[in-house]
Structure 1
Amino acid sequence: MSITPPTLVFLHGFLESNEIWEDFLRDFPPHYQTLRPNLPGYGPEPAAVTDYSLEAGAEYVHQYLREKGVHQVLLVGHSMGGYVALAFAEKFPAQVAGLCLFHSSSLPDSEEDAQRRQRNREFLEQHGVEAFTAEFLKPQFSAAQRESMSNEVALLQRIGASVSVETAVGGLEAIGHRPDRRAVLEQATYPVLFIAGKDDKAVPLEKTHEESLLPDHCTVLWLAKVGHVGFLERPTDTRKAIQGFAELVFGSK
Structure 2
Amino acid sequence: MKKQVQLKNGTRISYQEAGSGDTPIVLLHGFCGSSDYWHLVLPLLSASHRVIAVDLPGHGDSSAPGPDETYSIELFAENLHAWAQETGLDRFHLFGHSLGGYITLAFAEQYADLLKSFGLIHSTPFPDDEAARQNRDKGAESIKSNGIEPFIKALVPKLFAPNHVQTMPEQLALAKEIGLGTDPNGAIQTLRAMRDRKDRLRVLQEAVLPILLVAGKEDQVIPPEKTFVVQKAQVQQVLLPSAGHMGMLEVPEELAGAIKTFLDQL
Alignment TM-score, normalising by the size of structure 2 = 0.87
**Residue 65 of structure 1, aligned match among 84, 102, 109:** 84
Task: Please state if 1:40 is matched with 2:57.
Answer: yes
**8 Å CA contact retained: 2:214, 2:239:** yes
Secondary structure of 1:244's counterpart equals helix
User: Aligned residue for 1:24?
Assistant: 41
User: Aligned residue for 1:76?
Assistant: 95
Question: For residues 77-101 of structure 1, what are the alpha-carbon distances to aligned partners after superposition, in whole Å with 9 as ceiling and x for unaligned?
Answer: 0000011111100110111211110
User: Aligned residue for 2:263?
Assistant: 246
**Residue 121 of structure 1, aligned match among 140, 152, 168:** 140
Q: Distance in 2 between matches of 1:167 and 1:98?
A: 29
User: Aligned residue for 1:212?
Assistant: 230
> Which consecutive segments of 4 or more residues in structure 1 shift more than 4 A?
none
**Residue 162 of structure 1, aligned match among 174, 181, 201:** 181
Task: Please state if 1:137 is matched with 2:156.
Answer: yes
Q: 1:47 deviation in Å? A: 5.1
Question: For residues 167-224 of structure 1, what are the alpha-carbon distances to aligned partners after superposition, in whole Å with 9 as ceiling and x for unaligned?
Answer: 0110100001100001111111111111101111211222123x233x5421111122
Q: Distance in 1 between matches of 2:77 and 2:70?
A: 11
Q: Distance in 2 between matches of 1:143 and 1:165?
A: 27
User: Aligned residue for 1:88?
Assistant: 107
1:95 maps to amino acid: L
How do 1:196-211 and structure 2 match up within 5 A?
Answer: 196-209=215-228, 211=229
CA-atom RMSD in angstroms: 1.7
Cα distance change on mapping 1:141 and 1:98 into 2, 3 Å: same
Task: Please state if 1:182 is matched with 2:211.
Answer: no
Q: Distance in 1 between matches of 2:40 and 2:93?
A: 19
Q: Distance in 2 between matches of 1:117 and 1:31?
A: 39
Cα distance change on mapping 1:59 and 1:150 into 2, 3 Å: same
Q: Distance in 1 between matches of 2:61 and 2:81?
A: 21
**Residue 102 of structure 1, aligned match among 121, 137, 140:** 121
Secondary structure of 1:153's counterpart equals helix
**8 Å CA contact retained: 2:127, 2:198:** yes
Q: 1:58 deviation in Å? A: 0.7
1:46 maps to amino acid: S
Between Structure 1 and Structure 2, how many residues are aligned?
245
Q: 1:31 deviation in Å? A: 4.1
Alignment TM-score, normalising by the size of structure 1 = 0.91
Question: For residues 35-56 of structure 1, what are the alpha-carbon distances to aligned partners after superposition, in whole Å with 9 as ceiling and x for unaligned?
Answer: 1121112223525452421111
Unaligned runs of 5+ in 1: none
